[in-house]
Chain A
Amino acid sequence: MSDDGLLQQRWVRLGASAAVVLVVLGAVGSMMFGWDLERLLTVGFVNRSLQMATPITLAAIGGLYAEKSGVFNIGLEGFMIIGAISTAGVLFALGGTTPSQGDIWIAMVAAVLVSLVLTAIFAVLLIDYQADQIVAGLAVWFIGLGFAPFVASLVWGSRNSPGLASIDNVTVPGLSEIPWIGPVVFDQSPLVLLTLVLVIASWVFLYRTRYGYWVQAAGENPKALDTAGVNVTRVRYATVLFSGAMAGFGGAVLLAHAGNFVGTGDTMVNGRGWIAIVAYLFGNYNPLGAAAAAVLFGGLDMLQVQFQTAGIDVPSRLVNLFPYVIVIVVLSVWGKTRMPSAVGESYDQEE
């Protein structure tokens, strides 16, 4: 592992900052407003936080692969929207408003495929035609913001879908009765568990396989990789495709947990793609770190529900902004994340 020292520092910082935030919140809350902390920190909260973190994690892993290889995929948010609407559309086509669990899985696979096809076009523009990565990424967002509600209106006559179906938890009888661990691990959304597997797999792939080496090298010193006999362009195509597919999958998971599509405002994705970018920056481009950061953001996102159930009267509108504020603080305090040095530069094979 190349970044052991640095990584450890980051983990300490990440954990410390999360702890500080929670302790301060808890202290202030319980002293000033008489909050009942036991009712805040519930198993349900942990589960909801994990479910919230899942789409962010998936998109973050995709995004960090692309950026590690030297392409800044700023379109994650857009691809998440595309993933969500594709899942909803296919789901509706398969089973109307009462699709089966199998339909959900098929719909998610279809959504990943749709995202892949669109990412392929994006990748060609980015890599072959040297499109401006920032502008093209923003365009993907705009396209998602426009076409997803458009499709929703075509299909359901409204920007939102009716209730479709959300995915059932996988429950292991017996084991799920274990206090705390049981309901979190053995009565959990299969998508959360699948994401956990993907996080670990993407870490192993990035740091333990030759292809992972190439991804890292392509973003740091493409010329060195080229002189080592590896085609830089091909590596970058692979990572960009992966990033789009993962973001699309993230959107699909978001929908599968929510059970219906929301296309008003900034759609149901509502900035999670952007938070995914911050998550991997905060996690120092490490899949494990990115996942941890995503869990932190997911938890912040779910505080609002928690406050409500605990009967604490804080305007939900303001509590919802918590993750965004934290993102800004995080970026300002740890703003100087070392980016891979060749990010944003197109690489010309013939020199």
Chain B
Amino acid sequence: MSSVSDTDESKSRLERIAGYLLDATVLERIGIAVGATAFALLIGLVIVALAGYDPFRFATQLVVGAFGSERAIARTLRFSTLFVLAGLAVAVAFRAGVFNIGVQGQFVVGGIACVMSIIWTAPYLPTGTVGGVLLIGIGVVNAIVFGGLYGALPGALKAYAGANEIITTIMLNFIAIGVVGWLVNGPFRGEEATSVRTEQLPDYVAFPQVVFSDPNFSVVGFGIAVLSVIGVAFVLTRTRYGYDMVTSGYQATAARFSGVDSKQTIVATMTLSGMIAGLTGAVFAIMIQGSYTDPAGIGNYGFDGIAVSLLAANNPIGVVPAGILFGGLESAGSHIQIRSDVPVQLINGIIGLVVLFVAVPELFRMIGARMGLGGDDR
């Protein structure tokens, strides 16, 4: 251990952290994220105006719909919970240089695994709070395991068969949605279900309502997301496994030099990413749905997770503000759908634009340099 005294050590550590935070690259990344979002929103408003609506009213509704009331905030946090978790799943993989586009599929597989494991084991366990906690535990573990396996598959195919993970994971998304869609409409369909869905989860299987009373949101869910972020950030920055993964993402040749087995790392990364995606599915199923419906119609959380992660420059901590921002957009979308004629799909288009602009940091460096905003450190 280091011979430096404790106070000295903590001081130098503080200085170091401050150094990181003030790091030009971190500031630059934040600048790019803000620029990309602002630019995309601006284009969105122009489109609203061109489509013949009032852009100012639209902008107001965006803000009101996202943060204007307690209900809006709860709704925003509901979406944010999923975006943060899905974004985290993507960020883990992208950090390690593996393009897991399959978070959506792993999310669906995790979700159905969670619901079915709870439904099948519920008869054997006591009802009430104890049973609820146990069942949630069982559901979450199953979601994580199955999500992880569904992520490990394309990881193994990439590592040992050379199959491009971008394409295999996209195909696996279609497959997961198709198979689960068939299951919930056939073998897994609830006996009393009037629509296409599984049986309902027992009502004691739910997160407690604290602070907000929204049937589809619990602070516990958001807490799980934040804890996952902290856990992943810890693994990536403080453990040697995280170092191996991140180094592989930055520079595979150097990772190999340092003794990293690249194939194992790919599989491990995809598994971890899939596990988080599975957890996302569990939170979605327990907190929001209470059963499982046809995944073709449950929202593209896995894809939006890509946008969240990219906006956060694949930084696990950055996923939190990015997820909240996207949660706000989505929440505002729900609001706008009711309160205005502007088609809500615009929000998805704007998210696409955010991703596009995030892909082009050079553009914002140039704009920054033109505007005299410290473009000179490059």
Contacts and interface: CB of A to CB of B under 8 A. Distances in A.
Interface of A: 74, 125, 129-132, 134-136, 138-147, 149-150, 153-154, 159, 263, 265, 270-271, 274, 277-278, 281, 315, 317-318, 320-321, 324-325, 327-328, 331-333, 335-336
B348 A317 contact: no
A154 B164 CA distance: 38
> Closest 7 A-B residue pairs measured CB to CB?
A146-B349, A146-B348, A142-B352, A153-B343, A143-B352, A139-B356, A335-B162
Given A140-B356, A143-B349, A265-B296, A74 B303 contact: no
Nearest to A277: B167
Contact of A135 (B186, B345, B358): B358
A270 B181 CA distance: 15
Given A265-B296, A324-B174, A333-B161, A125 B182 contact: no
B345 A146 contact: yes
26 contacts: A131-B359, A132-B360, A134-B166, A138-B101, A140-B352, A140-B356, A143-B352, A143-B356, A145-B348, A147-B348, A150-B345, A150-B346, A153-B343, A154-B51, A159-B345, A277-B167, A317-B182, A318-B182, A321-B174, A324-B178, A327-B168, A328-B163, A331-B167, A331-B168, A335-B162, A335-B163
Given A281-B164, A332-B161, 10 more contacts: A125-B359, A139-B355, A143-B356, A145-B352, A146-B348, A146-B351, A150-B349, A274-B167, A324-B174, A324-B175
A153 B48 CA distance: 13
Contacts of A281: 164, 167
Contact of A324 (B99, B171, B186, B350): B171
A129 B167 contact: no
A317 B356 contact: no
Contact of A315 (B164, B170, B186, B307): B186
A148 to B, nearest CB: 8
Contacts of A318: 178-179, 182
A153 B343 CA distance: 6
Contacts, number: 142
Given A150-B343, A153-B343, A328-B172, A321 B178 contact: yes
A254 to B, nearest CB: 17
B34 interface: no
B347 interface: yes
Contacts of B186: 315
Q: What range describes how many residues of B lie at the interface? A: 35 or more
B352 A147 contact: yes
B168 A321 contact: no
A335 B163 CA distance: 5
A336 B175 contact: no
B360 A317 contact: no
Contacts of A325: 171, 175
Contacts of A74: 166
B306 interface: yes
A178 to B, nearest CB: 38
Contacts of B182: 315, 317-318
A312 B346 CA distance: 42
Contact of B170 (A135, A139, A274): A274
Given A135-B310, A145-B352, A321 B175 contact: yes
Interface string B208-234: 000000000000000000000000000
Contacts of A143: 349, 352-353, 356
B185 interface: yes
B9 interface: no
Nearest to A315: B182
A144 B303 CA distance: 13
Interface string B165-206: 011101110110011011001100000000000000000000
Nearest to B153: A328
B157 interface: yes
A332 B171 CA distance: 12
B174 A146 contact: no
Contacts of B307: 142
Contact of A317 (B51, B185, B310, B353): B185
A325 to B, nearest CB: 7
A142 B162 CA distance: 27
B8 to A, nearest CB: 42
A131 B349 contact: no
Interface in B92-128: 99, 101
Given A146-B348, A332-B157, A317 B181 contact: yes
A138 B343 contact: no
B210 to A, nearest CB: 34
Contacts of B360: 125, 129-132, 136
A173 B355 CA distance: 52
B373 interface: no
